[in-house]
Structure 1
Amino acid sequence: MTTLSQRAPSQTCRTLTAEDIEALAIGAWILGTGGGGDPYHKLLNMRILYRAGREVTLIDPMTLDDDAVVGVLSNMGAPLVGQERLADPEFALKPVRMMEEYMGRKFDAIMSLEIGGGNGVHPMLVAALTGYPVVDADTMGRAYPEAQMTSVAVAGLRCYPLTMADIRDNDVIIPRAASWRWMERISRKACTEIGSVAATCKAPRTGAEVKAHGVLYSVSNAIALGHKVREARTAHTDPIEAVLSAAKGKLMFRGKVVDVERRATEGFLRGKAVVEGLGDDAGREMVVHFQNEFSVAYLDGDPVVMTPDLICLLDTVSGEGIGTDVLRFGQRVSVLALPAPEVFLSEQGIAAVGPRAFGFDLDFTSVFEETRP
């Protein structure tokens, strides 16, 4: 199956327009599957930077030299906390400079840890300030909540070093960790202590590692997805159908949110949403669980879609992604399933991000028959 994360762009290097950045925010929020942080605040910063004459260059990952050094960037923490703290481009830049000082050299390029949500826009802030090119790739093809839930972790690549910074002038460097799970535990604890939100620079990757193990062309595909939604809105056609067509997804349910349970704990936002069916789904009920991102959806008590397939809750009218931090009573939502990047359909991938990784006693079953392992 050809998925969003597998289609190559037509250009090897291009300057992103302001319209591309707007589209990226829309597409990344959809691919965030409820997490990755709302991109809105970062989008506001990007608008200011572009008006000031700054630009971002997107490069084809296959043009990277094998020995190029690439910074892998993200915010870490609970999305709900991120909503309460305005994004600052200098906040995103600080861990990059810390990592460069630690390595004793500059980066050749930067990329996102995850294309989903605000983290899909995050490296654009750094690129606009530094002039570094952004690699058209990430390590998730969506958003996941934990450090071991990446394509590079599935491949067994090195998990350290890591740099982290908060807005209070606290800096953290983790020079070594025994495993990806230990890196997750240590960095999550540090993040929790400084307020459950931090900017990070993950273990740097070589150009060869990005080409072999990255989820390639995810930025271009998020931009293309966002453009399709914007076009549908302009033409007053159905943006949900635009997403389904562009991402080769499946509509699982339509309804109204009637209950939300959530709690911020240990640097995560955990809970579930109850959606009461409308239209053809009237009389039915879907319950969608989340840990920052949506993980498993039950329809009338039966599991019908689960990670690593993407579970996306979109506003039925606008096609806008809805984060787990802003779900509320009365929202009219469409629940979509999108195909997972192939790396997560392997035995190792399912072990890292399948339903059991989130505490569900379920064997992974894809709604996309041809992608079942």
Structure 2
Amino acid sequence: MGKEWSEKQKKVQILLGKEATYKEAIKQLLELREEMFEQISQIVNGYPARAFYQMPFANVKGYHSKTLAYSIWHIFRIEDIVAHILIAGDDQIFVKGEYQKKIGSLIITTGNELQGQEIADFSQKLDIGALYEYAKEVMLSTNSILSQLEYSQMKKKYSDEDKKRLVESGCVSSAENAVWLIDYWCDKDINGLIKMPFSRHWIMHIEAMQRIKNKLCKMARKGVDPAAYCDHSCNHCFLGEWCGSCRTEYNVCSFATIFEDKRCPNAVCCIEKSIDGCYECSELENCTKGFYAPENNGAIEAKVQAMFIRKYGKEAFIEVEDKLHERFDFYKMQEILGQGIHEGLKILENELSK
């Protein structure tokens, strides 16, 4: 994902350099920002509260050494400061929306000065819902500013007076590892600010967020039953890298997330019935609930696997799935096992006998 974003950002940079292609550059930049923000939305809407203050890569070098909450804070505090204090010359969204109180933050800075456990402690105190609303409002506000800028403004430079305004705002810490930001921003023209705080900076930190959440999911799944409630194999799912499975609180199964409460009907049903999975249910063969709805892709495949587990057990199921997935990807498996209940079951049984 990061590589694709970087290629798109490079294209935007080239288009920004010419008046004839400037408007197209802004259009593509806004589309890129929307695409990247969707990743933040998925993380905020899909992961438990404790995920936002954990540091699975603590003490390593790189942006992924931080937390999910810190990353969101850092991206949008920088954008808010640059977009409003420097470019628009008006009040920050943070100030107008009284977001310090809403978010519950003890600081108003970019957070560059925080290190190690300070980052985790800071992150744990934040209201993630309010932080997300702040991030979204900043993004939309910046988009509006970008849409109104003209090519003739791209070379605008900043002065010592602009630096003074940044210092007086108190939004940048005087700590050595933070105060450098003021010179860094003011040494750029608007074109340069668009390339970094409004695009490249997003890519670096959202990519880091993806690494953090993937690691947290991997940790959550350790030792957890790899068979989902619907009896899909989480070990072979296309979501396996960043989903903790429906048996953990890191569940972002693509089927579960389409429901308002983010819970798969099959998982809910199994929990209510106090059964381990759909394979234990007497209504399995005729069930059309949740994943087993006839119109759902993979419905037959999932039911075939549930029936196989009922007959041969989970160890045999995992063994057969491992063998088949050495030859076929997730989607091909859906196609192969989805030919029909009896046909699919026969395929699994033949694989078991090899």
Shorter-normalised TM range: under 0.3
Q: Which has the larger radius of gyration?
A: 2
TM-score in terms of structure 2 length: 0.25
TM-score in terms of structure 1 length: 0.24
**Quick check: which one's strand share is greater?**
1
Which fold has the larger relative contact order, with Cα–Cα distance below 8 Å and residues 6 or more apart in sequence? 1
